[in-house]
Structure 1
Amino acid sequence: MGNELAEETTLQEQVDEQKSGVQQKYGTFGGVFVPTLLTILGVILFLRQGWVIGNAGLLGGWLIITLAFVIVTFTALSMSCITTNIRIKAGGAYSIISQSLGLEVGGSVGVPLYLAQTFAITMYIFGFREGWLYIFPGHYAILVDFVVFGTLFGIAFMSAKLAFRIQYIILAVIVGALISVGGTIFTGAMEHSIQWWGAFPGAPENGFEGVSFWVVFAVLFPAATGIMAGANMSGELKNPKKSIPLGTISAIVISYVIYMASGYWFARVAPVDELVSNYNVMIDYALWAPAVLGGLLGATFSSALASIVGAPRILQALGDHRIFPGGEIFSKLSENGEPRNAILLTGGIVLATLLLRDLNTIAPLITMFFLITYMMINLVVFVEQWMNMISFRPTFTIPKFVPFIGTAGCLFTMFIINSTFGLVALGFVVLTYLYLTNRKLKVPYGDMRSGLFVSLAEWAAKRVSLLPENNERAWKANLLVPVRSARELRGSFSLIRNLVYPKGSVKLVGLSGTGDDSKLRDSLMDFAMSFSRENVYAKWSVIDSDNFKEAILNSLQTLQGTFFRPNILFLRLPNHKRYDEEIHSIINQARLNNMGIQLYVEDTIAQLGRSSSVNVWMRERSPDWDLSMELGNIDLALLTAYKLKMNWNATMRMITVVDESQVEQAYNYLENLLDVARLPDVQPHVEIGTFKEAIQNAPQADVDLMGLPQDPDLDELRLFVERTQSACVFVADSGNENILA
């Protein structure tokens, strides 16, 4: 069943890649940086930042800006971290959360995120209308709304590529607006003394009755959001692992500089009384007012455009996984890769909300849904870091305090802005989660939930049993180690410890047929305590049997039904041939029980040497050298080598042997594999000639890992120790390991 699920998962991923292959068009600048920057440089910059500075003063305003950007920057760092650890698909934040915490959690956040993104389109249209009526007060408001909506919908329906091209024009308009503002430096307009800390007088709407620091923070905070504008296009980026971190963080840094600089400009260009009473200070004091008006219109239009392009992509991803009944309708793509059905539904919702004429009552709820999304992304990374699973190998690493502060900051901001709407939003997410739990969604990939539940408590066992058994992302090394004698185990102790540390486990099974097994029991208990002192979870038991093979086979079958069941059989191949026949039978039985195998052949002279280098041997892949999710019998070998590399701080090489004509293809394949597997510090190495020549000429290692043949010649395996002059571990996959997960 595990193998069938693995094949189904691989097929699903191939289908996803084929679907996304039509769409993957956009690079870092156009696909992430520009939409993110334009969404952050929105209406608050042009119409509300002056009010913030007038209330809080320059230092207070800078503090508010910094706090807001710290929260979203930490979220962006968390998003960048997790993005480089998964194969992110369409849906942006939804894809990130669902691949880590499961479809139920991902869907419970993805549905409100889609609604928030859709309602935000209406909010941006209303903002555009206000700016337009400032210029043309005689125009009909509802007509302006419908014309803007029709323009936005037409652009999104035709092509996202057209939308991104238009955003370049809008970017130029906003740059022109900022230049017009900055140009006042040379006109003498910046003549007022700075108020460093404000009196927080409030706003005209409340009769200047006064406000608190946190109320002013709540007004400015939405300006710092919008960091998902690029991530929402994850399914259509050429290289999302590179583009999302680089584009998002660059946009945030530049936006922060602009907000801080414009805060200084506001503090110098107008008196405090005017800053708190006149929302059009930037327009009135700019070098050329029409440029700022163009920037204001461009900011709201670009934000609406990014949302009307991004929201259907979230709906498409939700439909792909059948999060709601009939969702497959919205997962369909047109010939040019556009989710037309999802765009139609999104347009219909926007059109309906335009008729309501006012969304101010639910505007805080929209902000809450965004904050919950940001909080969950931080929480995903925090949990992944806490669990310390081997599958968590992001190429963009961050300190552990970053996701923690990001999670706490988002939760804090929710209740600072509006505690009532915060509770309503959380309640909506919980209800959606309960609904999706009852839907019994079909999970197309493994996630980290099983590892989390096992780590937390025993009560999670039932929940874990509902998840796919082939949970490649939660894989860890759980060794079953048969023990004939304490002396034999003592020689393998260091290697076993480093094969499982820090999150794996060891199950020691002693074989005693003498009737007096007290000495063996004491030894196993001592070794189990030694493993525990090395922070390795270890359990032991003794089987009274004269037949070593029968006892091991019984152990294999019995332990398959346990909760913390072993997934790797660790065997030691002695120098003599006395046990060859039964070892051969045990290997075959382990394969039938879908267990991985690690057959250790000790170098009696060098033993483990300096424990500073590891070689992994991989068979050549001619003639095609195609990289797929199915690598053959190499996943467990690579995972084993990676454990040794990390625990020994060792050098790791990946070696293959080819003829001279295939050297370039072999290097390209190895480099591609190491990149996809997120193993950047591993050296690819290609040997030319026969395998027998290669193992003698290859760089020396302390341990060489090789695939265990289907019908191994144990004498030949012993010879490899002499040929490599190192200890060897022969490895067979169970089918449940995946170095690419």
Structure 2
Amino acid sequence: MDTSPMVSSLLSSLANYSNLTQGSKEHEEAENNEEARKKTVQAPRMGTLMGVYLPCMQNILGVILFLRMTWLVGAGGVLGTFIIVFMCCSTTMLTAISMSAIATNGVVPAGGSYYMISRSLGPEFGGAVGICFYLGTTFAGAMYILGCIEILLIYIVPAAAIFKMEGLEGAEAEAALLNNMRVYGTIVLSFMALVVFVGVKYVNKLALVFLACVILSILAVYAGVIKTSFDPPFFPVCLLGNRTLVSKGFDICAKTIEQGNATVTTKLWRAFCDSEFLNATCDEYFTSNNVSQIQGIPGITSGILAGKKTPYLKLKLFNGNLVIGTLAWPSPWVIVFGSFFSTCGAGLQSLTGAPRLLQAIARDSIIPFLRVFGHGKANGEPTWALLLTACICETGILIASLDAVAPILSMFFLMCYMFVNLACALQTLLRTPNWRPRFKFYHWALSLLGMSLCLTLMFLCSWYYAIVAMVIASCIYKYIEFCGAEKEWGDGIRGISLSAARYALMRLEEGPPHTKNWRPQILVLMSLDGEQSVEQPRLLSLTSQLKAGKGLTIVGACVEGTYLNNQPQAQKADQVCMKLMEVEKVKGFSQVVISSNLRDATSHLIQAGGLGGLRHNTVLVSFPKNWKQAEEHHRCRNFIEVVRETTAAHLALLVTKNISAYPSNGERFTEGHIDVWWIVHDGGLLMLLPFLLRQHKVWRKCKIRIFTVAQMDDNSIQMKKDLMTFLYHLRFDAEVEVVEMHDSDISAYTYEKTLVMEQRSQILKEMHLTKNEREREVQLIQGKNATPTPTSPTSPTAPTPAAVTPGEEVQMTWTDETEKTNNPAVANPESVKDMNQSNFRRMHHAQELNGVIVKKSKEAKLVLLNMPGPPKNRNGEENYMEFLEVLTEGLNRVLLVRGGGREVITIYS
């Protein structure tokens, strides 16, 4: 509460917040006042009218309305044009509804649509769509400049053309026009960029003039409509059959005319015939169809000419006059100059808005190489962004054709509108607590309809441009994702992730998964030193090398003390673990527990790690070093408690011996073996681990060897055959070797009937099954004879090897507690002598087993072997640790594996 603001100060700051940009008056003061320049300089403001309403009007009432709407009606007809315009207006209206909902759901600073999309869909979508919106606005500036030059050269001063078009036809006329557009377009762009660079105050002053021209043009059109309703003009259209003829090139809409007493052919005749005489050979369609002149519909299709493939003919509408200009009153020049100034103003607005959009993206730092464009002049003017915008705009001008530039910006704008609708629909469907827009007239179905219309229009307009725009957006998305966007804006994509995670966790079974779905969900127990640094970082290297298991990874660490006093140390330890996980490329979670002693903290991690059905099933821990030293004895006790608790919790346990010798992720083994000593079958984890390791590039070139132990009365040859068959069904590629040993040498392990492959094969034969049925019963027998979980420390003491029959569970007795219970004389000196002899025999057996393992696997890159069960009581803990030391002596890297008591591999697909 010490850092929390008072309510009064919070309300004051919110009430005085302003996200508007600076007006021209304040901008002039900021530029001219030296003291104001030393203080915090505000960004230039344009206000609602000058910054929002005017640019929108000039974009709508610009090139498309004055230059292309009448051509669209003539080419598509009244009904077709109405459908097109209705779809476009519906798209913008639905997008406006979605944008209103998003805009009223909180304060929207500079950036407009980009800000709303990025805060709603995340930095990846925001950056991708923001760049597309910026490119669309920039190309819109190029389109408006091209429209301005087209009006200038075609309708105002055709004589100003540098590349003359008189007397040229077809491709030559088109090339001359495009070259004129490039030259004049570059000049106009340079002038506009200079005006924007000098200051937004000049843009505002010119905007008033342009707005007045636009309003005057619209009024002139409506006045002309009223006038023509009383005095309709004569708009003749010449038809040949059902085809419209281009009026340029002939003067009379007839094949022949009467001059005196003679019949004379017209220019139209000579256009379709090889001579001017009546007996000339003419075009078949011309001969078989009559020529007629009809009255065009005033104000709609009058003067629209055929010839879609010749832009020059498109431009020379109505005998060289602007069609909409013929409707204006009192003079067509009102429309001509109005549309000219409207396109100039729209171009200026685009060159003003696009750099500010790029500056907003750059200041968010989601795209690293754009950060330089976030800087500008002292008053916030985006100088560098303006320079880049002018360069991109110049590429659009070099294209020169207005009809070729228009689809480019349409793609980018439609993509922006599509994601605005998606953001609104997503926020509405997720029903997040923060979604409280003041604008209530919206619905997720309307937003989805608007999104669908945007996507449809993109592909109807130009499918290849649509694909290119999507590829550009996808590349930017992946680039931001690759660079690692560090922004967290509470966006909808994260909301989807939360909802999906909750849904998946609720559906996840609480019980154990099916064998086919089993994967190692690893809890890594890390040790921290006094500086909260990780003592065994190679544990995470091994975890990363097991990532082919595609399971959950929880890195757990313990801090000794109380939560109130040691919470900062826990945060530091969590950051250290997360950083190390990032270095080792381990995808998972970090969890640090504070407790009064490390043993309880470790127990809490084992018990409470995970969430719902997504919990760890495997514990990875390092074998304690120097455990024989008195100051390290507590590590030994903690380790054995971990073994006991994982056994009680039916969790698999992986214990790394000599963890410092394990390879890092940067090392590569070019040859060698991974040796598996399969002494008892406890679920198949022992064979699954080397398979997962070989999926990683560190172990990829190592070969797997499996050594299984046979007792003296077993058929070793048959065991090898059965084991090879078993591995074939498991799809494991490994070398197999059977090693014969005395029963006493492996008496420290729990074993069951499935250990002896010959006995399992004999059981299958006695069932009188076919070969296929026999293979299907393999898993069933393994499940029925799975290793029982060793009894807990409170259970009765397990019998010694001599007291059980073959095939029953055998547990090594690490102390002579049984003899103490059954024979009171065990406390005398002779009994103590017998205990020492018993311990000596156990160490001798461990030494014998170790000798066999060292002989076969001394040069192996990694040795995996079964880990014996923990001692029943604390008196045998030291003997247990000593047994493990003797068992693994002389081996470089050892991974002790203790299964969780259930099958983790299957022969079925």
Q: Which has the higher contact order (CA 8 A, sep 6+)?
A: 1
TM-score by length of 2: 0.40
TM-score by length of 1: 0.49
Query: Is the helix fraction higher in 1 or 2?
Result: 1
